Amino acid sequence: MQVSQDTSIYFEAPLQLLLFIDGRSKSRQEVQQIRSYLSELQAIYDFELQTIDVGKQPYLAEHFKLVATPALIKIQPEPRQILAGSTIITQLKIWWPRWQTAVEAYLKLHQNCQDLEEPHHTGSISLESLVLSRPSSISSVAVSEELIRLSDEIFCLKQEKEKLQEQLQFKDRVIAMLAHDLRNPLTAAAIAIDTLKSNYNVEKGEFSRLSPKMVMHLFKQSRNQVQIMNRMITDLLKVGHSKDRKFPIQPQKLEIGQLCLDTIYELCDSYMSKSITIEKDIPKDLPYVYADPERIHQVLINLFDNAIKYTPANGRICISALHRTTQKVQCSISDTGPGIPEDNREQIFENRFRLERDKKQDGYGIGLSFCQRIIQAHFGRIWVESTPNGGALFHFTLPVYPD
């Protein structure tokens, strides 16, 4: 390898120092004293000094693993040495003669390397390896800083990408869940409207086979279901515009026992069509819970609707509530269907997980994942067991409303 006589391209000042400072007012005087002392030395000795503000170049502080500033670092000749604390000038007076000895040894090695490259020397020692493995310099530190900064930016971009991906996945899941649950109120509203339509006598202008009380009930039922759908659509829009990955809830004082009874009544057409017997065990002295009525209503609808789907004709569904502890109320819904295999009792709450037997049937899909997110947002728990007759027994807990 041929090396130019101008070796400054490879070797800068023999002694190179970095002075790390910060913007604290209490260290300003100390930094000024250090700079003044180094200026005096620079009039006598040949060395290069670069001042680095850690506030503007934090990557270099990280690179040198600094724990305090001001700090003076000798980066060339090696080995690297760090002087820090409130006695930098005192330390520098002690180390300066030793550093000059190291500089002399460094320059001597430099000269020997040049001599080895003279034409009359044909030995196997090559300056290329010495140049490539030369000690750290201020320029190489600047390159290291840029690499650290770019690496940090890439890391931040990766984190931002992962965050955006999580947001998109969360939105996709919630939108799918809410869209899935829109079918229940839509079906209920459609049944009420069809019942009114089929019993309306156009010629007489009256509902010939329905009592006024039943007509008002059906109108109220359809209106309530439309309001539920409107709130769900509002939720979809909120999720679409939100950057939050948490499930939104608006908890309040809630009479959970009455909500269970309302849900049973809401799905009466579905279970009556299969002649399913409904058993209720809801104490009148059940305490209020602190929960979002609309969200818990969606949980009850999902669980009760699944129970109806999987319970055979003339089967039985039981819904119960229990004041389990001073902090929790537990609600349970059991059926006489085929139950959930033990190996799948955790998996059924995963997004879109389906039992093999249910691949062609609607149920135990998005709904249970949706239920789990709602209950977890209330700091509760949801799980499934088997009943003595082999059916499914779902439980979930909610916090008691504080008195």
60-99: pLDDT as tens digits = 777 788 888 899 998 888 888 999 888 999 999 999 999 9
Q: What are phi and psi of 248, to 5 degrees?
A: -75, 130
- List pLDDT tens digits, range 343-382: 777 778 775 444 444 544 544 345 787 788 889 999 999 9
> ∠ CA 128-133-139 to the nearest 5 degrees?
110
pLDDT of residue 181: 67
Domain 166-241 = CATH 1.10.287? yes
Among 10-24, 28-42, 142-156, 337-351, which is the least confidently predicted range? 142-156
Which one has a higher pLDDT value, 260 or 195?
260
Q: How far apart are CA 44 and CA 345, in angstroms?
A: 80
Top CATH class, 252-399: alpha beta
Residue % of the chain over a pLDDT of 70: 77
Report d(CA 331, CA 1) in Å as an integer.
Answer: 83
pLDDT at residue 312, rounded to an integer: 93
pTM of the model: 0.49
Q: According to the model, what pLDDT value does residue 133 have?
A: 40
298, pLDDT greater than 80: yes
Task: Extract the tokens encoding 360.
Answer: 């062609």
Domain 7-136, classified CATH 3.40.30.10, yes or no: yes
User: In the chain, where are the structural domains located?
Assistant: 7-136, 166-241, 252-399
- Assess whether pLDDT exceeds 70 at residue 285: yes
Residue-level pLDDT at 239? 58
Query: Do 370 and 353 form a contact (C-beta atoms < 8 A)?
Result: no
Say which residue, 304 or 146, is predicted with more confidence. 304
Min mean pLDDT across 90-99, 106-115, 139-148, 210-219 is at: 139-148
Range 31-37 contact pairs with CB under 8 angstroms and sequence separation of 24 or more: 31/70, 33/89, 34/70, 34/72, 34/88, 34/89, 37/89, 37/92
- pLDDT the model gives residue 320: 94
186-200, 358-372, 377-391, range with greatest mean pLDDT: 377-391
Task: Categorize the per-residue pLDDT at 148 as very low, low, confident or very high, splitting at 50, 70 and 90.
Answer: low
Task: Say what the pLDDT of residue 178 is.
Answer: 67
Proportion of the chain above pLDDT 90, given as a percent: 28
- Which band of pLDDT confidence, cut at 50, 70 and 90, is reported for residue 213? confident
pLDDT beyond 70 at 204: yes
Q: Is residue 231's pLDDT more than 80?
A: no
Instruction: Please determine, for residue 123, whether its predicted confidence score (pLDDT) is greater than 50.
Output: no
Give the chain's radius of gyration (CA, Å).
38
The predicted structure's pLDDT at residue 335: 94
The mean predicted confidence, pLDDT, of the chain is 79
